[in-house]
Amino acid sequence: MILLDNFVFELQSVGGVSKYWAKNIERLDRAALDITFLEGPDVKNNAFRRDLTFTQPVITERGTVTVRRVRGPQVVSDVFHSSYYRVSKNSKFNIVTIHDFMNEKFPSSFRDPILARIKKRACRHADRIVVVSECTRKDLLRHYPDVDPGIVEVIYNGADEEFFPEPISEPFNVMGERIVPFRYFLYVGTRGYCKNFPYVLSILAKAWSKGLEYRLVIVGGGPLSSRELASAAALGLPPTTFLQISGIDNATLRRLYSNTSALLIPSIYEGFGLPALEAARCGALVLASRGSALDEIIGETDYAFDLNAKNEIPRVLSLGFDNANAEAERARLLKRSDMFSWDRSVKRLIEIYDELGH
């Protein structure tokens, strides 16, 4: 029996890791496999889990999250695949998925070293380690040199089927706000240190100085802080520059991706970078940074920032957003996005389960 551990749904209400796990298990549930799901009593607090209905058996664990983390699963299985770094002593084989090394590379709170230790333990007990990018694979082998490289495999994320080009020629409304196509930049997600939001503000300010007085539509991440607003003001960007929205569905996000001048994602570090893939799947221009897993999504392009180089923002902006260069880049990214598929990812996961005896 293959035991799939839905533990992450109790740790997040939303989030990239829980989205990844939901996209995989909804497909695994339909596969011709002997699968059982293991989860705690509070999983329905997760938005992705609420949308799932399983055909395979579900076992509910008792006890708090902390107790179950320390104790480990009590269900006997042949293969145990955890969504978030748990280890089963009652399984013949353990599989763990690793998304990034943010905790190790950029610790910012007391939780980071704790999570790093939990991750390290999971990797040391794993019979197979799945990573979501070549960047993450290299980080893993650098941080855990005692791990056998032969058990580490890259299986990329995919993009939801709801993401595809939806160009609109007329202004459209999002949550009561009027959006003019190709007259705004887009930013999606949180704004922690690694997301490099100050660089986003610099891109916007330089664009304004060149006459591109586009708004920045920000999806998720909460309201701009007083520090962020002060930084924007210092760059000459008034509060009306920013439109913040949250709680939108994929159809609305698809329209925003499809009609933006560019998605801005100049991250210092990404283990994958799902917004970049989603935007590319919608035919959008993606202005990303070099040097992390984003390279694997966007490939070789002039429309990328070397964060260590001078005058990168003027160089990229000079390439243009409404010309042949931009249209060719959008077409290239759309074609490249076909490399990434949830169905292909799950197909490979099933092959791994088979290789371990199923």
Q: How far apart (Å, rounded) are the C-alpha atoms in residues 320 and 211?
A: 12
Estimate the share of the chain in helix, then strand, then coil, as percent rounded to the nearest 5.
Answer: 40, 20, 40
Q: Which residues fall within 8 angstroms of residue 304, CB to CB, at 6 or more apart?
A: 287, 288, 289, 290, 294, 295, 298, 316
Q: How far apart (Å, rounded) are the C-alpha atoms in residues 341 and 344?
A: 5
Task: Examine residue 257 and state whether it is found in any structural domain, yes or no.
Answer: yes
Q: How far apart (Å, rounded) are the C-alpha atoms in residues 9 and 52?
A: 12
Same-domain status, 131 and 257: no
Which pLDDT does position 203 carry in this prediction? 98
Task: Examine residue 265 and state whether it is found in any structural domain, yes or no.
Answer: yes
To the nearest 10°, the Cα dihedral for 81, 85, 86, 88? Answer: 50
Could you read off the pLDDT of 19-77 as tens digits, one per residue?
999 999 999 999 999 999 999 999 989 999 999 999 999 999 999 999 998 899 999 99
Q: How far apart (Å, rounded) are the C-alpha atoms in residues 77 and 35?
A: 10
Provide the number of structural domains found in the chain: 2
Task: Examine residue 184 and state whether it is found in any structural domain, yes or no.
Answer: yes
Same-domain status, 11 and 56: yes
Same-domain status, 6 and 54: yes
Same-domain status, 224 and 346: no
Task: Examine residue 205 and state whether it is found in any structural domain, yes or no.
Answer: yes
Task: Examine residue 244 and state whether it is found in any structural domain, yes or no.
Answer: yes
Which pLDDT does position 108 carry in this prediction? 87
Which domain CATH number covers 141?
3.40.50.2000
Which pLDDT does position 14 carry in this prediction? 84
Q: How far apart (Å, rounded) are the C-alpha atoms in residues 53 and 71?
A: 27
Which pLDDT does position 314 carry in this prediction? 97
Which pLDDT does position 55 carry in this prediction? 97
Same-domain status, 329 and 219: yes
Task: Examine residue 278 and state whether it is found in any structural domain, yes or no.
Answer: yes
Task: Examine residue 165 and state whether it is found in any structural domain, yes or no.
Answer: no
Beta bridge partners of 94: 80
Same-domain status, 214 and 132: no
Same-domain status, 90 and 114: yes
Task: Examine residue 240 and state whether it is found in any structural domain, yes or no.
Answer: yes
pTM, two decimal places: 0.93
Same-domain status, 190 and 123: no
Same-domain status, 43 and 176: no
Which pLDDT does position 92 carry in this prediction? 96
Same-domain status, 11 and 138: yes
Same-domain status, 154 and 184: no
Torsion sign, CA atoms 122, 9, 133, 192: negative
Q: What is the pLDDT along the chain (358 residues), one digit of tens a residue?
A: 999 999 999 999 888 899 999 999 999 999 999 999 999 999 989 999 999 999 999 999 999 999 998 899 999 999 999 999 999 999 999 999 999 999 999 998 899 999 999 999 999 999 999 999 999 999 999 999 999 999 999 999 999 999 999 999 999 999 999 999 999 999 999 999 999 999 999 999 999 999 999 999 999 999 999 999 999 999 999 999 999 998 899 999 999 999 999 999 999 999 999 999 999 999 999 999 999 999 999 999 999 999 999 999 999 999 999 999 999 999 999 999 999 999 999 999 999 999 997 5
Residue 34: give the domain boundaries: 2-158+341-355
Strands 172-174 and 177-179: antiparallel
Same-domain status, 51 and 181: no
